[in-house]
Chains A and B, each alone.
Chain A
Amino acid sequence: MAAPLVLVVLAAVTVRAALYRSSLAGFIAERVEVTSPLNAWKRVVEGLALLDLGVSPYSGAIFHETPLIIYLFHFLIEYAELVFMITDVLTAVALYLAIQDFNKVVFKKQKLLIELDKYAPDVAELIQTPMEMHYIPLKVALFYLLNPYTVMSCVAKSTCAINNSVIAFFILATIKGSAFLSAVFLALATYQSLYPLTLFAPALLYLLQRQFIPIKLKSKSFWLYTMQYASLYLCSLVVIICLSFFLLNSWDFIPSVYGFILSVPDLTPNIGLFWYFFAEMFEHFSLFFVCVFQINVFFYTIPLAIKLKEHPMFFMFVQLAIISIFKSYPTVGDVALYMAFLPVWNHLYRFLRNIFILSCVLIFCSFLFPVLWHLWIYAGSANSNFYYAITLTFNIGQILLISDYFYAFLRREYYLTHGLHLTRQDGTEAMLVLK
């Protein structure tokens, strides 16, 4: 399996190198869909230039990266293109290894459940076979590396790639079962962009499952393990934040990074829902709606944890998608990360209801974004409503895609336990409804 992966990596690196040398690199770096005030490369360079001038990068409102990024790029600024290509490759390799291990776990669990007769007799066609699962890791790596969103994100040198890489390593560490590494990578991811905090729940559920600890609120071992994992996570987070303090000897980065993410003062257009909402918000309600929108990202965690406690990886996927859609400054790099997981749920294809129209919506919106931006900003013949409309449509497309996959997943689970051919009490074929 290594050879096809190397081939894919080579192809990806070639595409990126070709784009770096072309004139499209400047055009892509300016796209607001690809870069946001949080992760634009121009702002990293600006922060380093301010540091050279003797001014703290956090004294202005331009630089919102964490001090570790300053530290990293202070030494690697000349090799920036190489750094981002290597980051993408590392992310793909991490996802490959993670999904490889995950497939083994899935297969083992499936075998156990078949032996325990938990599945209905006529669901043979729903069971995943090693044959069809063989190419999934490669497809995941392919989906990530050759996704146009990822390529554009890499060519624009957006630090979203670094965030994706850390999350990929976190997923790898979780699947391999190492609680310590998983906590460290999760702390790094939270430190960089705050929202991966919600990935604590799926990781914890996965590790508990792997340790065969039952998820009962009264169980002592459950609380013991949770406390262990939580303390590992919090300690690493505290250590990283203290290290950042010692870099510039000030706590200025906390309001500049986390205050910025949470209070959304910069209304630069992006593919998310926040910018136009707060551009048109009545001043009186601004704080209330900021709180509502931020809580919106975090509050799906507990209900999803309760519903999907047997399936933490799917929970992780849904949670990643919710973060990408509802975070304050989303970019296409975040979308690319959860889309890389779609090959893992290939077996759900027969239960997806709207996949064709949703893919069309997402593709068309991706093409319309730059067109309507140009019409608004450069041609002056459209106004901000056009771009906002495409933002809304794109987000609805993403939301319906995720809920479609969720529906398909739950439906497959129902069929697995109750059988594929359902009959009503009088023997006629039955319909399945959600009630």
Chain B
Amino acid sequence: GGMAAAVLLLLLLAAAGPGPGRAEAGRERRDALREELLLTPLPTGDVAATFQFRTRWDADLQRGAVSHYRLFPKALGRLVAALGVRELHLALTQGFWRTRYWGQPPLQAPAGAELWVWFQPTVTDVDKAWKELSNILSGIFCASLNFIDSTNTVIPTASFKPLGLANGTDHHLLRYAVLPREVVCTENLTPWKKLLPCGSKAGLAVLLKAERLFHSSYHSQAVHIRPICRDASCLAVSWELRQTLTVVFDFFSSGQGKKDWSLFKMFSRTLTDTCPLASQSKVYVDISPKNKEKELLEVSPPPTSVHEAVVQGDKKTYAVYDLLSPSLFNTSRSLNVQLKWKRPQDSSEMPIPTLHAQRYVGGYGLQTGEICTLIYNTHPYRAFPVILLETVPWYLRLYVHTLTIITKGKENKPSYIHYQPAQDRTRPHLLEMLIQLPANSVTKITIQFERALLKWTEYPPDPNHGFYVGSSVLSALVPSVIAMKDMDVEQSPLFTSLFPSSDGSSYFVRLYTEPLLVNLPTPDFSMPYNVICLTCTVVAVCYGSFYNLLTRTFHVEEPSRGGLAKRLANVIRKLRGVPPL
């Protein structure tokens, strides 16, 4: 019996031999996975860990009937092909990146869920494709992206240019939506991890354990799909899928008050082996000296190499651990990178990022309010423009004639304004402005709004919690302190290749401000029937009075013979001996 089965199996394998599988295996590998982990100690004593998994696939998803998916996840590949997606960027974030204290982020995302998509020019009904896309992504990532509809979708004209290859940029093919109320939790992390080729079983993804990742100040996971040039001549298109996850571990809660960090302390795991499907697997630790002094950070075990690069306009030094190099796992089976501070850090050494912003709601009461945005340019001598995109829900009625932009006490007129007013229950407000920020200045942008009273069914279950206004987006080309050399974008690590940079003298930054929480006046939810009755009573009072006056005429009153009550009263009076009525 067993012998017969083995022979049968061998025969089957031989028969399947000259099929397509053999031909595929025979060809050169057309997809590649590169994983990177960047550990950045932050000036306040916290540590940021950024994972990036890049899968690059030399296939034309748009045209071909591609059926054999290897490293590229089939769910996303079929989505791109079926709905005519050119670029997709989805981010799910919990917490807020404090740019002022933590420095410029490698890749920031707004609190909640953010989805922006460029569609191919061949798509005829972009709104329908957008709706389908958000529903499918909602299923894939177990997130409530199905709440994305026309009331929170906008079409920006200047802010979100394509990050991949693009022929033309007709902005009617772009859709942007943000759900600030979305919460990120383990059930969003699990499908995200499942899209990785090695899952969470090997390579850097073993560190992604939910109980440690969500015990943090900031957790952001993102998926970016875009077409890129296959090679330098750019004759063919490859598809790149980047999955990034940024987490900031808090010095007090995760670090237990000590500023020494290690992989085990952060993730309660260490790296044991590499993902066999990865062509590159590296851990970078940012050991850049601050203020041009000697390093104040010590890493152990000793790194395989030290790499210097100009990232975000600043010269940075990285200790690199190449997990694919055989020497790494020689001494021990696991790699636990440890970071120790050589000397205590002085808080005055905190470098202030060149561009940072904050936003808040001003005013009091439930009738009106004001959205104030403060944008800081801390560069000592260079001015640069910034594009501000604000999406405000329709129930906060913005008054654009109250928009004021003040820099250094004087009015600052934006050189480009695109304003699309909201339509009640259909469309949100969209305000895009190009503002010039002078060197070393604070720009204050204020706009007044009125709070609407909604129908009682339009309030969320907890109406007094308030309504969220999504983060506003600032896009700018910030001048670098140090000029960046043209390097091979494919080989450069750490996210410098996601954003375009036209020359080495500035780098692209996209910042998000805080989301806002605004209270609206509420009706009394327990009273619908009472209100209907009372208002109809008032209308009926008018109707009744007018009906009487219109249909009846005046008559002289006839003496009435007396009804039953009068006769009964007369009887009682006779008994008492009193004269009758």
Contact = CB atoms under 8 A, between A and B. Distances in A.
A228 interface: no
A306 B528 CA distance: 37
B160 to A, nearest CB: 21
Contacts of A395: 538
B367 A377 contact: yes
B528 A307 contact: no
A130 interface: no
Given A53-B400, A273-B539, A279 B365 contact: no
A53 B417 contact: yes
B342 interface: no
A276 B557 contact: no
Contacts of A282: 528
B531 A280 contact: yes
B420 A392 contact: no
Interface string B379-421: 0000000000000001001011100000000000000010111
B101 interface: no
A278 B535 CA distance: 10
B556 A30 contact: no
Given A282-B528, A300-B546, A431 B557 contact: yes
Interface stretch (B44-52, B171-179, B259-267, B547-555): B547-555
Contacts of A83: none
B368 interface: yes
Interface string B353-384: 00000000000111110000000000000000
Interface in B426-458: 452-457
B528 A62 contact: no
A216 interface: no
Contacts of A32: 367
A338 to B, nearest CB: 14
Interface stretch (B57-65, B477-485, B503-511, B517-525): B517-525
Contacts of B420: 55, 59
A279 B549 contact: no
A251 interface: no
Nearest to A49: B401
Given A46-B401, A276-B535, A279-B453, A430 B556 contact: yes
Interface in A395-435: 395-396, 399-400, 403, 406-407, 410-411, 414, 422, 424, 426, 430-435
B545 interface: yes
Interface in B530-571: 531-532, 534-535, 538-539, 541-542, 545-546, 548-550, 552-559
B12 interface: no
Contact of B367 (A30, A59, A60): A30
A359 B81 CA distance: 73
A30 B457 CA distance: 27
A277 interface: yes
Contacts of A279: 453-456, 523, 531
Contacts of B527: 280, 385
Contacts of B542: 322, 325-326, 399, 403
A104 B554 CA distance: 29
Contacts of B452: 266-268
Contacts of A424: 556-559
A395 B561 CA distance: 40
Nearest to B448: A42
Interface in B163-199: none
Nearest to A410: B549
Given A434-B552, A434-B553, A278 B400 contact: no
Contacts, number: 164
Contacts of B545: 399-400, 403, 406
Given A53-B400, A59-B420, A61-B424, A278 B455 contact: yes
A45 B401 contact: yes
B424 A266 contact: yes
Nearest to A428: B559
Contacts of A115: none
A251 B400 CA distance: 23
A265 B426 CA distance: 12
A303 interface: yes
Nearest to B529: A280
Given A280-B456, A280-B532, A281-B528, A42 B399 contact: yes
A432 B528 contact: no
Given A403-B546, A435-B555, A59 B538 contact: no
Contacts of A411: 554
Contacts of A49: 400-401
Contacts of A265: 424-425
Given A392-B534, A399-B541, A430-B556, A303 B550 contact: yes
A158 B528 CA distance: 32
Nearest to B531: A280
Contacts of A422: 556
A275 B453 contact: yes
A128 interface: no
B78 to A, nearest CB: 38
B423 interface: yes
Contacts of B423: 59-61
Closest 9 CB pairs of A and B: A60-B421, A49-B401, A403-B545, A280-B531, A378-B365, A280-B528, A431-B557, A414-B554, A61-B424
Interface of B: 364-368, 394, 397, 399-401, 417, 419-425, 452-457, 521-524, 527-528, 531-532, 534-535, 538-539, 541-542, 545-546, 548-550, 552-559
28 contacts: A42-B399, A46-B401, A50-B419, A53-B417, A59-B421, A60-B423, A279-B455, A281-B532, A303-B546, A304-B546, A306-B550, A326-B542, A376-B366, A377-B521, A378-B366, A384-B521, A384-B524, A385-B524, A392-B535, A399-B541, A403-B546, A406-B546, A406-B549, A407-B549, A410-B549, A431-B557, A433-B557, A435-B552
Given A55-B420, A377-B367, A377-B521, 14 more contacts: A46-B401, A50-B400, A267-B452, A268-B452, A273-B538, A277-B531, A304-B550, A307-B549, A384-B523, A396-B538, A403-B549, A411-B554, A414-B554, A422-B556
